[in-house]
Amino acid sequence: MPVAPSDELKPRKTPRQARSAATVEAIFEATIQVLLVDGYAGLTTTRVASRAGVSVGTMYQYFPHKEALLYAVLEDYLEDVVVALESAAQRHHGARLCEMSDGLSRAYLEAKMRRMPGSRARYVVAAELDSAPLIADIVRRADEIIAGLLASAPDAGFDDIDNVTFALRTMLTGTVRAVLENDASPESLAMLRTELPVMCRAYLVAVSRRRA
């Protein structure tokens, strides 16, 4: 279960019907568009409401202020990444090490790229808000998923699976962030798709104990 935000950053209500969910999704998309054009300092709830095609009153039904809105946008994005990792872990549980490594790295990258070009804007949001508890919870959940998957490999074992998990997760997040923050060109993204699985696979093979 995701960590609860502080009282200051809590949304006023959570959408429960399809129409409400669509409204919130439009607000999230508009938030990213405004961030990309006007930056963090230039974002206001009025500008977001106008871009989303909703009234400011509708905005305030869900989010009491700008910071609560941005926290919700960041939480939605990070949750999507965790869901992608969970799905990959389910698909590749018990697979051979190289197959599960490739599946995990590709799932992580595709989850990040689905939200392009807004991924870079969300890095800014994470730096500006009190998001440390949220990010720590996401990291904990991601590590549990990765460690559980690696432990199921029939052809490899690890002397310290926690350290291996930490290193692999750092490799995934750091490499992708470095590219998305600095040069998210089609050529760079194509390079990531090719090289990130190779990097992760090579690392895991190098540190694994081969099983008979």
Q: What is the C-alpha separation between 163 and 146, in angstroms, rounded?
A: 11
Asked if residue 176 lies in contact with residue 112, where contact means CB atoms within 8 angstroms, the answer is yes
Is 7 exposed, middle or buried, given 0-12, 13-18 or 19+ CB atoms closer than 10 A? Answer: exposed
**Other Cβ atoms closer than 10 A to 145:** 21
Output the pLDDT for position 212: 44
* Averaged pLDDT in 10-residue chunks for the chain of 212 residues: 56 64 91 90 92 91 89 91 96 97 95 80 83 92 98 95 97 90 82 95 91 52
What single-letter DSSP state applies at residue 80?
H
Residue 166 contacts by C-beta under 8 Å, 6 or more apart in sequence?
Answer: 143
Q: Look at residue 160 in the predicted model and tell me its pLDDT.
A: 95
**Res 115: pLDDT:** 75
Domains of the chain: 7-210 (1.10.357.10)
62 three-class SS: helix
Centre a 10 Å sphere on the Cβ of residue 209 and count the other Cβ atoms it contains. 8
